[in-house]
Amino acid sequence: MGSISLSQTDPTATKNTDLPTFKTPWHPTPLIESTTLSRAAGCRIFLKLENLQPSGSFKSRAMGNQILSHLRKAEHAHRAVHFYASSGGNAGLAAVCAARTLGYPCTVVVPVSTKPLMVTKLRRAGAADVIQHGETFAEAGLYMKEVVMQTQSAGEEEVVKIALHPFDNEPIWEGNSTIVDELVHQIPSPAGPEEEAIHAGRALPVDAIICSVGGGGLLNGLVAGIERARLSSSSLAEPVKPVHLLAVETKGTDSLAAALQHQELVSLPKITSQATSLGAVRVSERTFQYAVNPPSGVKVHSAVLSDAEAARGVLRLADEERMLVELACGVCVEAAVGGGSSSSSAYKKRKYVDEGYGDDRLSAGENDDEGFSPVHSPLPAAASLSSKLKQLIPDLNEDSRVVIVVCGGSNVTIDMAAEWRKMLSEGWA
């Protein structure tokens, strides 16, 4: 896993040889190109597999870097530190995993409504304690700060107690921005003058990145990473062609869409979606500002899908890519491919170029003897713009590159996916 220096996740940090260095509590994740999802979407779909992080989600980067930001402080050097988190979802699990990797305890306080599945996962991950209190995460968080963190056990006089936020601070966004640092090296270089011209001036050669939005920590990190990549590029062509960021929410967690509709930050009265890991009733101020006025080279789009559509995305990923993820992740898949045509008449033969992604389906009968793979051909507008993604970002075509951040998530089981399949077969919409 390696170690991390003071400046690797904080460009403004000043090195101090008296401070310890720490292992990085997350790791680089693969990027694969999906033949099947590309066919359904009508463009090239790449999957950034954040579901392979130690905690099962991208939150390993977010919470891991937030924890590191505290451990790098001089006042915490060589002292006993105890972390506290009030998220019973992926952020809480990531906090426990990251803290344990670095050798520190982490206590999690969650509402009494937290599912036994997540409580069990938190305990098995090595949480120092899992305390259930209150009806909401706000009540759990208040109890954590005012009671749990104030209670002093024997021998704890010298322990530094630190509360962690699930999405709203700079170290979290900086941790998430490392996704883009990896994409810069993982995305295939443009092939030929035509593709080079298309992507000239972009921070990285992708047309769009799709991510889900809860509080906005992932979106903030992606924007920051794209901006850093653009500024570090040796050839900034003008005008800058934007990388489109598609920010997807489920109906009932759509706090970003509501803020954009009202042109100001608003709080949802409650979360009514089953995608509870997107359940921030209000996005961060930075997220709203990025959506309204993104930096040069970025354009943000908002989309809201139903829980049923998110479930379809979960099942698509399970069926086509053998991956099981939460509704909060499935909604991104469905935003990319939902509504697309799969008619064989919509495809042409195009030479498949092996770019090292190891897609075993290419040797399982989907290619002919000459090594060709069926992909979308240029069609009349009504057919070529059939997928949801192309309705949201009409400039895309069959050669466009779209990255889906497969954010993962642990609040899902095979039984839950089977239930969603049953509900969809019975007309869930």
Query: DSSP states of 28-52 as a string?
Result: ---EEEEHHHHHHHTSEEEEEEGGG
Sorted by sequence, the CB contacts under 8 Å of residue 179 that are 6+ apart come out as 48, 50, 58, 61, 221, 222, 225, 405
Sorted by sequence, the CB contacts under 8 Å of residue 246 that are 6+ apart come out as 208, 209, 210, 211, 301, 303, 335, 389, 392, 393
Which of the four pLDDT bands, split at 50, 70 and 90, describes residue 234?
low
Answer CATH for 59-164 from 2.40.110.10, 3.40.50.1100, 3.40.30.10, 3.30.450.20: 3.40.50.1100
Q: Across the strands, what pairs with 129?
A: 107
Which of the four pLDDT bands, split at 50, 70 and 90, describes residue 351?
very low
Arithmetic mean of pLDDT, 111-138? 89
* Domain limits, the chain: 31-56+169-341+385-426, 59-164
Q: Is the pLDDT of residue 239 over 60?
A: no
Where is pLDDT greater, at 349 or 71?
71
d(CA 175, CA 38): 29
Average confidence score pLDDT of the chain:
84
Which of the four pLDDT bands, split at 50, 70 and 90, describes residue 78?
confident
Amino acid at 310: A
Which letter does DSSP use for residue 365 in this model? T
| pLDDT attached to residue 37 | 94
Where is pLDDT greater, at 415 or 270?
415
**Three-state secondary-structure class, residue 101:** helix
Arithmetic mean of pLDDT, 413-418? 96
Least confident of 139-148, 158-167, 311-320, 389-398: 389-398
For residue 217, how far is the Cα from the chain centroid?
9
Exposure string of 33-50, with b = 16+ CB inside 10 Å and e = fewer, is: bbbbbbbbbbbbbbbbbb
Residue 282: CA count within 13 A, CB half-sphere: 10
Q: Is the pLDDT of residue 362 over 90?
A: no
| pLDDT attached to residue 191 | 87
| pLDDT attached to residue 387 | 66
Which of the four pLDDT bands, split at 50, 70 and 90, describes residue 355?
very low
| pLDDT attached to residue 299 | 94
| pLDDT attached to residue 113 | 82
Which of the four pLDDT bands, split at 50, 70 and 90, describes residue 237?
low
Q: Is the pLDDT of residue 238 over 90?
A: no
Q: Is the pLDDT of residue 360 over 50?
A: no
Q: Name the CATH topology of 31-56+169-341+385-426.
A: Rossmann fold (3.40.50)
Question: Fold identical between 31-56+169-341+385-426 and 59-164?
Answer: yes
Which of the four pLDDT bands, split at 50, 70 and 90, describes residue 17?
low
- Are the C-beta atoms of residues 25 and 101 closer than 8 Å to each other? yes
Name the pTM for this structure: 0.84
Q: Note the pLDDT tens digit of each residue in 55-66.
A: 999 999 999 999
The two structure tokens encoding residue 72: 């790098």
Name residue, tokens 């495809």. 347
| pLDDT attached to residue 135 | 82
Residue 301: CA count within 13 A, CB half-sphere: 20
Q: Note the pLDDT tens digit of each residue in 246-304.
A: 999 999 999 999 999 999 999 999 889 999 888 888 999 999 999 999 998 999 999 99
Arithmetic mean of pLDDT, 302-325? 96
Q: Pick from 20, 23, 6, 181: which is nearest to 98 by CA?
A: 23
| pLDDT attached to residue 395 | 83
d(CA 171, CA 157): 27
Arithmetic mean of pLDDT, 381-408? 77
Q: Is the pLDDT of residue 353 over 70?
A: no
Q: Is the pLDDT of residue 159 over 70?
A: yes
| pLDDT attached to residue 315 | 97
Which of the four pLDDT bands, split at 50, 70 and 90, describes residue 198?
confident
Where is pLDDT greater, at 235 or 330?
330
| pLDDT attached to residue 214 | 92
For strands 243-250 and 298-305, give the pairing: parallel
**Number of residues in the chain:** 429
| pLDDT attached to residue 403 | 98
Q: Is the pLDDT of residue 348 over 70?
A: no
Arithmetic mean of pLDDT, 9-21? 57
| pLDDT attached to residue 155 | 62
The CA R_g of the chain, rounded to the nearest whole Å, is 22
Q: What percent of the chain has pLDDT over 70?
A: 81
Arithmetic mean of pLDDT, 132-159? 84
d(CA 74, CA 169): 19
| pLDDT attached to residue 393 | 85
Q: Which helix (H) or strand (E) holds 373?
A: strand 372-376
